[in-house]
Chains A and B, each alone.
Chain A
Amino acid sequence: MTTIALHRRRILFSRLMLTLTGIAAFVVVVPLLLIFYYLVTAGAQALNLDFFTQLPAPAGEAGGGMANALLGTFLLVFYAGLMGIPIAVGAGVYLAEAGNTKLGTFVRFIADVMNGTPSIVTGIFVWAWVVLMMGRFSLLAGSVALAVMLLPMVTRTTEEMVRLVPRELKEGGMALGFTRWRTTLGVVLPAARSGILTGILVALARIAGETAPLLFTAFGNPFWEWRLNEPISALPLLIYQYAISPYDDWHRQAWAAALVLIGLVLAISLVARFLIRNPYR
């Protein structure tokens, strides 16, 4: 074969590969675009002021809103973060700084297993340990379930982010006569901060949309609720409940709730992206 022919072949091959991978990349975004299209067409009309301010209407009646579920989702995610984030960040730092120990290897393995555990299993686990012991469904139980989901995600991203901090930076702290933990807290963590924050936000977005772990923990509640020891409503729970109901109006509201939920997740992701772009404040 002549060199020119060979050259042509290469260019053709290169174009072919570019087209194929380009198609693949497009296919990846198609589901998201379709989801948005569906949600907007089906749910936007049900998105009104009532949706954000009113309690759900009694079964079969038109109108009402999901205000209590919005509050519920916020509280569930808030308490889950409050419980889970400090522990997960601490564990992640430990894995990155001292993770070559037996304990480290063990914790990393467990975290990976937990990451792959179906969320319904987490729900059953928390039901057995918290709900049965308290004798009731509750905001606390739901938050614990979500915190258990969040733990392995944030632990592993924190570990990765701390590992990415250049060794030179750590040595810079040590060389100034800082103790090891001072170096970690004062030099390494600030350098990894934006990455860790991003990981936390992604995890919060994830758990905000979880349904299965809440089914037998938070359970749901048609009324306003904010106490830790009472069952509470959440957007994903209502979506589930409304979607399998026989009422058209509830279907529309389920679409609307899904739209709100995905908007929430999208907003959090955008914030996370913004943080990635500005690594140091």
Chain B
Amino acid sequence: MTRPSPRKPPPEAHEIRPAVEAKDFSFWYGKNQALKRVSLQMPDRQVTALIGPSGCGKSTFLRSINRMNDLIPGIQHEGDITLDGDSVYRADQDVVALRKRVGMVFQKSNPFPKSIYENVAYGARVNRITSSRSELDELVERSLRQAALWDEVRDRLHSSALGLSGGQQQRLCIARALAVSPRVLLMDEPASALDPIATQKIEELVYELKEDYTIVIVTHNMQQAARVSDRTAFFFMGELIEVGRTEEIFTNPKVEQTEAYITGRFG
């Protein structure tokens, strides 16, 4: 009897239906073009890592998926991004509803100035997911468990979230995002401000969450990308240079620039 290999290679993108797909997507801040005809499939329940040097457009791309950039004046786009086949940019898209389906975790943790409990419950209550007290309690506990924070905060659910450590705050923000049951989770350098232990917790979390969620994560840390992601996309100066299975990108990149970046020769 042969044992299954400990980590079977993740399937190719086309083998899984993409949850999120960018098609020839370009983006401008005023006259400055930040994304150039990016086409990228982010498969269902997989982790896609976006890597590339500072200013190459990773955050811009991520924020284009839930239309967070809409708040910035003077922006423009071409092409499209779809979520389960539904155009994110169609004229009658309900952006508020879209953002309920696409959760986001930011580089700098940004808990609300409320209690730990309220941070998680508030979104669920506002989005009318539930308003019954017992269901809310359940939801808060489940989300905090999912974010691997429950054991650390169960005794002080009603104290201020601002009293938590940086790593705990970041996991609270993840719990907050999970509580509204998104389809996709976007993470913009979620561990860049954290110490190694907190970082490891976040990474383990990402690994577990992909059971249920499609995750797109921006990171500057090559080891992190290699550890947590199934697929890696390398951006450079607003262009998608190369994308493929993470193992392949890291062991056998096809494009010279990718190799140079991964091995630390620039960026």
Chain A contacts to B: CB under 8 angstroms: 166, 168-169, 171-179, 182, 186-187, 190-191, 193, 279-281
Contacts and interface: CB of A to CB of B under 8 A. Distances in A.
Interface of B: 66, 68, 71, 96-100, 103-104, 106, 108, 110-114, 122-123, 126-127, 160, 162, 173, 176-177, 180
B74 to A, nearest CB: 12
Given A186-B122, A281-B160, A175 B113 contact: no
B108 A175 contact: no
Contact of A280 (B98, B162, B176): B162
A173 B126 CA distance: 10
Given A182-B126, A191-B112, A175 B96 contact: no
A175 B112 contact: no
Contact of A190 (B66, B114, B123, B126): B114
Nearest to B98: A177
Q: Taking each of A173, A174, A190, which has the highest tally of chain B beta carbons within 10 Å of its own beta carbon?
A: A174
A168 B106 contact: yes
B68 A171 contact: yes
A174 B173 CA distance: 13
A190 B100 contact: no
Contact of A176 (B71, B160, B177): B177
Contact of B103 (A168, A169, A175): A175
Given A176-B176, A176-B180, A191-B112, A171 B96 contact: no
Nearest to A177: B100
B110 A171 contact: yes
A171 B106 contact: yes
A176 B173 contact: no
A174 B68 contact: yes
A28 B122 CA distance: 47
A99 to B, nearest CB: 13
A136 to B, nearest CB: 47
Contacts of B122: 186
Contacts of A190: 112-114
A14 to B, nearest CB: 36
9 contacts: A169-B112, A172-B106, A173-B112, A175-B66, A176-B103, A176-B176, A186-B122, A190-B114, A193-B113
A76 B104 CA distance: 49
B104 A175 contact: yes
Contacts of B110: 166, 168-169, 171-172
A98 to B, nearest CB: 12
